Amino acid sequence: MEEVQRHSVHTLVFRSLKRTHDFFVANQSLLPEIDDKLEKVKFNIKARDTYGLVFDRTAKAKALAAKRGDSDRADGQNGVKDGVLAITAGEQEGIAPDSNNTQTALVPASTPTSQNTSSAVQILPKKAPTIPKPKWHAPWKLCRVISGHLGWVRCVAVEPGNEWFATGAADRVIKIWDLASGKLKLSLTGHVSTVRALAVSPRHPYLFSCGEDRQVKCWDLEYNKVIRHYHGHLSAVYTMSLHPTIDVLVTAGRDSTARVWDMRTKANIHTLTGHTNTVASVVTQAANPQIITGSHDSTVRLWDLAAGKSMCTLTNHKKSVRAIVLHPSLYMFASASPDNIKQWRCPEGNFIQNLSGHNSIVNCMAVNPEGVLVSGGDNGTMFFWDWRTGYNFQRFQAAVQPGSMDSEAGIFSMTFDQSGSRLITTEADKTIKIYKEDDEATEESHPINWRPEIIKRRKY
């Protein structure tokens, strides 16, 4: 048997390149002929796309110039040469200042009534960009600390009726608490590893949970037991979201995919692939894009639920995107990364502005109808922002539970209650903290420290 001669990778690559070159070298200069008709169509499409708004203006200007030229020639005067219009500061050549000509300016020049209107175009000074003043928000303060979990508290979800909320932790237990009193109502056991995300259905008596044990469970709260399992994830499941109008559940995690489930039949409708690293956050909404995911690959993807495909990939972030939050009333969302918190407008994902200053790993965000955006960091810092202007009106370090280490100050998840008046955070010191606005604060006692900066909305 003839022995196959072995070559280095460098030799094999060089041979492959040489074969490719020899194959195509004969066609190198044989370019196809240019089709003048297609070139003209392409030019017209580009021109209409760029200048479509002023096409009618140029046509009117040319017609007016031609009309003037004819009348001037009839009077024995020089007409406008070749129909060219010039923007001048005074009289036009060949036109007397007192002639009663039609005003052709895009913005009419304001002249005193004693003077006759000339055909000159006045160039108005450009108005300097202004930054809107932020709305005043009352500062927030800690009003309750709830203990009960035996591990890091990783997730929280508030019930639509605003009577109770659920938390999941590294002790593998889901606990349900009374929102008004902070007392424990119920403990649900069944996960065999850390519970990472929870969601309460607004239309059914169901609680959904997922965790690092790759399990996605549906709990019937009338019987307090698991009634469905959703099997398919290949690794830990870190985040989940319920669609607001249809019976669809979206989960995502460390296998770099987001999976869309039929809530009732447990069928895996779509597997949304495209991210190259852990998907840390997913949100859903009724309007397009219906699904938005943020990943450790530093990208945010917008998905079409019907097609199960990515509509857009936002690559502005430089580091992992661990949190995404939808505004409750505006058609916008925010994404958080250690480099910046960025605001976007749906449906194309147009960049709005950066919220800079929270220089830590931002694990979670929440926003209420009043336009208060809160971001929680891995080092226990909390930043409060005005959504519209990006003004940071409050920041503080969350106090750790007595007896715990300073390093256990991380904030893992947060949410506002249904009224937007209470903020619930879950933390690494095994506690749940509830914050509310300071009722005694006023605009005089806590004024807005507002310094307008021109370099505010810098586009990356």
Domains of the chain: 140-437 (2.130.10.10)
For the cut 80, the answer to whether the pLDDT of residue 240 exceeds it is yes
For the cut 80, the answer to whether the pLDDT of residue 11 exceeds it is yes
d(CA 104, CA 125): 19
Region 232-260: mean pLDDT is 96
Residue 224, beta-bridge partner list: none
What is the pLDDT, as a whole number, of residue 97? 45
Cβ density class 23-57: b for 16+ within 10 Å, e for less: eeeeeeeeeeeeeeeeeeeeeeeeeeeeeeeeeee
What is the pLDDT, as a whole number, of residue 428? 94
pLDDT band at 200 (very low <50, low <70, confident <90, very high): very high
Please name the residue that has the structure tokens 């809160």: 374
Choice between 202 and 115, residue whose per-residue pLDDT is larger: 202
What is the pLDDT, as a whole number, of residue 177? 97
Query: Based on C-alpha coordinates, what's the Rg of the chain?
Result: 32
Percentage, residues of the chain above pLDDT 70 = 83
pLDDT band at 392 (very low <50, low <70, confident <90, very high): very high
Is 159 within 8 Å of 119 (Cβ atoms)? Answer: no
What is the pLDDT, as a whole number, of residue 28? 65
For the cut 90, the answer to whether the pLDDT of residue 188 exceeds it is yes
Of 64-73, 253-262, 422-431, give the lowest mean pLDDT range. 64-73
For the cut 50, the answer to whether the pLDDT of residue 99 exceeds it is no
pLDDT band at 29 (very low <50, low <70, confident <90, very high): low
CA–chain centroid gap for 454, Å, is 23
| 3-state secondary structure at position 60 | helix
For the cut 50, the answer to whether the pLDDT of residue 86 exceeds it is no
For the cut 50, the answer to whether the pLDDT of residue 457 exceeds it is no
pLDDT band at 102 (very low <50, low <70, confident <90, very high): very low
pLDDT band at 121 (very low <50, low <70, confident <90, very high): low
What is the pLDDT, as a whole number, of residue 106? 45
Mean of the per-residue pLDDT values for the chain?
A: 85
- pTM for the model: 0.71
Question: For the sheet containing 173-178, what is the strand order?
Answer: 153-158, 164-169, 173-178, 184-189
Q: pLDDT (tens digit, 9 = 90+) per residue, 334-362?
A: 999 999 999 999 999 999 999 999 999 99
Of 48-52, 97-101, 167-171, 299-303, give the lowest mean pLDDT range. 97-101
Region 21-47: mean pLDDT is 78
Choice between 102 and 153, residue whose per-residue pLDDT is larger: 153
Q: Is 306 exposed, middle or buried (0-12, 13-18, 19+ CB in 10 A)?
A: exposed
Is 385 within 8 Å of 391 (Cβ atoms)? Answer: yes
Q: Is 410 exposed, middle or buried (0-12, 13-18, 19+ CB in 10 A)?
A: buried
- Token pair recorded at residue 43: 């030019």
Q: pLDDT (tens digit, 9 = 90+) per residue, 294-317?
A: 999 999 999 999 999 999 999 999
Half-sphere exposure of 37 (CA within 13 A, CB side): 0
pLDDT band at 88 (very low <50, low <70, confident <90, very high): very low
What is the pLDDT, as a whole number, of residue 326? 97
Length of the chain counted residue by residue: 460
For the cut 60, the answer to whether the pLDDT of residue 218 exceeds it is yes
For the cut 70, the answer to whether the pLDDT of residue 452 exceeds it is no
What is the pLDDT, as a whole number, of residue 128? 57
Region 10-34: mean pLDDT is 77
Give CA separation, 399 vs 137, 143, 414, in Å: 22, 12, 15
For the cut 60, the answer to whether the pLDDT of residue 87 exceeds it is no
Task: Looking at 319-399, list the stretches that DSSP marks H as alpha helix, in order from N- to C-terminal side.
Answer: none
